[in-house]
Amino acid sequence: MKNIIDFIKDSTDCWHTAAEVSAVLDSAGFERLSEGGGRKLKNGGRYYVVRNMSSVIAFKIPSGKPERYMIAAAHGESPSFKIKAVPELADKNYIKLNVEAYGGMSLSSWLDRPLSVSGRVVIDNGESLNVRLVNIDRDSLIIPSLAIHLGRGAKNSSELNICRDMPPMYALSESEAGIMSEVADVLGEEEKSIIGCDLMLYNREEGRIWGRNNEFISAPRLDDLQCVYALLKGFIESEESRDTVQTLCIFDNEEVGSGTRQGAKSDFLSSVLLRISNCFGIDYAGHMQRLNSSFLVSADNAHAIHPNRADAYDSENYPRIGGGVVIKYNAAQRYTTDAVSEAIFKKICRRAGVPYQVYANKSDIAGGSTLGNLAAEKTCVSSVDIGLAQLAMHSAYETAGNEDTSYMINAVKEFYNTRLSIINDEIRV
């Protein structure tokens, strides 16, 4: 498996993330299934399913009859700019791209950085439509800031207007070829054959390990690719079970609410789990009984204490970079952690020898939500929200702890090797 820096570098958008996850699963002996197929599952088998080319659910069938599902979930996309259907803005000086925001973005962090374009396109070859991934793998765009001498520097995102300030510069106005022509060239196709596209901007700067003791990692898209990488590695390396279906979910569209057919709020997870039960002769009542002893870990990064702005955090409930896995709490249930799921996950971390810490929003800040409460709408299991501590969340370039990735991997391996039983008020872990 690639190291985390290379994994993030190649996961430029949600579709490339799903492709990277799929490639790792392929190399580990997993069999890809069609969601519309009816293939028989085998004890000891390894399988995965992809929806919309952007969400992946992988699972290991135990050697015996399934008695529970241990599920870990993260999201594979990050805030970025999406190119509109009519992709270019032209004036007498420059050709610019016409973009809109995907997710909540720190706009100022995108200024003056080398950018490029990746995503997927649909090719009409006459007899059928073919969907292909594309990456213009070169420094091809920049969003220039306005010089401070001209009266307005890029002080913060609230002063920037996405229509006025954020269209990326692509070429001088006299250029005869546009962005779709370059996309076609990369694919070796004619431009007129492209009849559909989902194209995103991405930051070309590579990740790096740094700090006095190499304690930090900085990269684009750490939220949430750091968790995707750790969950995937922990899932692959976990021991096989005799009665637990070990399940990994990488969802799309978390940054825009998950309310899509490939998001955590969809039926993707619930339908996969039900079909697994059906393959082993477990009826609906038996399936629901098994969900009662199942568990979901929702992994999405958390806000590390800032070196210069501690006033933005709760005075006690904050995590630090390098402090281990973060357990996240919210009274309004934007995070699903409760006393039971907290205790279960702490016990798992202690067994793995992994440090853990806590996060809760400052009480006068609403904060965001993530996957756990949305997935639970369709899949009724006990769940905990966790993450890794990071700075500059939703920036084009983010910072987290280097060693924390390993902590998460080890916690996830122990999680998948845990046999959980919940009967009334008695919990056996």
| Kind plus residue range of the DSSP H or E element containing 19 | helix 14-27
User: What is the dihedral angle through the alpha carbons of 238, 46, 388, 107, rounded to the nearest 10 degrees?
Assistant: 160
In the chain (429 residues long), the average pLDDT of successive 10-residue segments reads: 96 98 98 87 96 98 94 97 94 94 96 98 94 97 93 64 96 89 96 97 97 98 97 96 96 93 94 94 93 94 97 95 96 90 96 97 81 77 96 97 98 94 79
The residues that bridge with 73 in the sheet, in sequence order, are: 249, 298
User: Which residues, other chains included, contact 312 with Cβ-Cβ below 8 Å and sequence gap of 6+?
Assistant: 306, 362, 365
At 33, give phi and psi (nearest 5°): -110, 150
Q: Are residues 390 and 273 in the same domain?
A: yes
Residue 313 sits in a domain whose CATH number is: 3.40.630.10
Q: Residue 375 has what pLDDT?
A: 76
Q: Are residues 129 and 34 in the same domain?
A: no
> Is position 120 within any domain?
yes
The count of other CB atoms within 10 Å of the CB of residue 92 is 6
Q: Are residues 198 and 240 in the same domain?
A: no
Query: Two tokens at 191?
Result: 């431009």
Q: Which of 203, 234, 268 is the last residue of a domain?
A: 203
Q: Residue 204 has what pLDDT?
A: 98
Q: Are residues 72 and 86 in the same domain?
A: no
Query: Two tokens at 26?
Result: 């392929």
> Is position 209 within any domain?
no
N-terminal to C-terminal alpha carbon distance within the chain: 30
Q: Are residues 155 and 174 in the same domain?
A: yes
Contact status, residue 200 vs residue 80, Cβ threshold 8 Å: yes
Q: Which of 203, 238, 259 is the last residue of a domain?
A: 203
How far apart CA 47 and CA 105 sit, in angstroms, is 35
At 163, give phi and psi (nearest 5°): -75, -40
Q: Which domain holds residue 397?
A: 4-78+220-428
Q: Are residues 116 and 134 in the same domain?
A: yes
Rg (CA), the chain: 22
Give 309: exposed, middle or buried? Use CB within 10 Å, 0-12, 13-18, 19+.
Answer: exposed
Find, among 179, 204, 207, 211, the residue nearest to 194 by Cα.
179
Q: Are residues 63 and 103 in the same domain?
A: no
Query: Two tokens at 256?
Result: 């825009």
For the chain, the domain total comes to: 2
Q: Are residues 224 and 328 in the same domain?
A: yes
Q: Are residues 268 and 391 in the same domain?
A: yes
> Is position 215 within any domain?
no
Q: Residue 374 has what pLDDT?
A: 75
**244-251 and 68-75 beta bridge pairing:** parallel
